[in-house]
Amino acid sequence: MERPIVLFGGTGQIGRELRLQLGAWWPVLAPPRDQVNLARPEEVTTYLRLARPSLIVNASAFTDVDAAEADATTAMTVNGHIPLMLAEEAFDRNIGLVHFSTDLVFDGRRGADPAPYREGDAPNPLNVYGRSMLRGESAIAYTDPPHLIFRTSRVFGLRGSNFLMDLVALAGSHDDINVVDDQIGSPTWSRAVAIAVNSILKDLDAPRSPIAMRERSGIYHLAAAGAVSWYGFAELVLSQAPASPYVDLASGRHPVLRAISSDSYPFRAARPTYTALSSRSAADAFGIDLPPWEQQLQSCLQAQPA
């Protein structure tokens, strides 16, 4: 009997989608939070020793950027220390580790004519969340099991808490919505990420072949092509959402979007102004090309939620 893939964060945006993709060809265990609390490292270690996985996938994180400023200890534990533990477990077992990180490891200071960040660009996070995620990346790279770290950007979908769903909720009850227009990134559909990662792991036969993962180990950006501000993304969401069979936005609702600066919004954590990612390395290494963010949004709004 095949040893399972253990997926942490299986109810999150990427994790939910990835669990369905992986489960179509390999047994997957995705322990819920009440079974394995990632803020309690001993529970993680115990679970892995019982599960005896063939591959570990970490799609979990403390993702509330502003809350991380007030609870740095938990953010650092979940985003920084747990990846170290998972890397040590993977190294000791000679199995692969897949981990997801973020565009917020960068500071956004790219000048007047910015180019999307590449993997070799120096990270310099501006907030606790970004620093905690960078610590997790560094811990995995230092421990160096067979590993793939995928940085993505502004993940959205039709489930959970994300910008798309929050905007739709606001549009149903507000006539005016303020949206920042000076933060540029690459909004990426959770299902597009899951499909890409599943394809990579299946092609590598990752649960059976840590050697294949070892040969490709490293950090890869995996984000939508193109870049847009939160305001620009919101404009397209509200223009397309009424036609979606899965979004509850009354056709008669026409809220006014108002572009504001980041300084006008009460963020607790500092945000970079530009974090678009180039996914060229993933395309070169794995033949994976994610569509532009506009196409991903359109596909998301017409696709049944997982």
Q: How far apart are CA 275 and CA 229, in angstroms?
A: 10
According to DSSP, the β-strands at 228-229 and 184-185 are antiparallel
Contacts of 126 (CB under 8 A, 6+ apart): 104, 107, 108, 269, 270, 271, 272
Q: How far is CA 63 from the centre of its chain?
A: 9
Q: How far apart are CA 7 and CA 98, in angstroms?
A: 9
What is the torsion angle, in degrees rounded to the nearest 10, for the CA atoms of residue 305, residue 190, residue 165 and residue 261? -160
Task: Check if 129 is active-site.
Answer: yes
Phi, psi at 57, each rounded to 5°: -120, 120
Q: Where are the beta strands (DSSP E) in 20-140?
A: 28-29, 55-58, 96-102
Catalytic one of 117, 129, 220, 231: 129
Phi, psi at 259, each rounded to 5°: -75, 130
Instruction: Please give the positions annotated as active site.
Output: 129
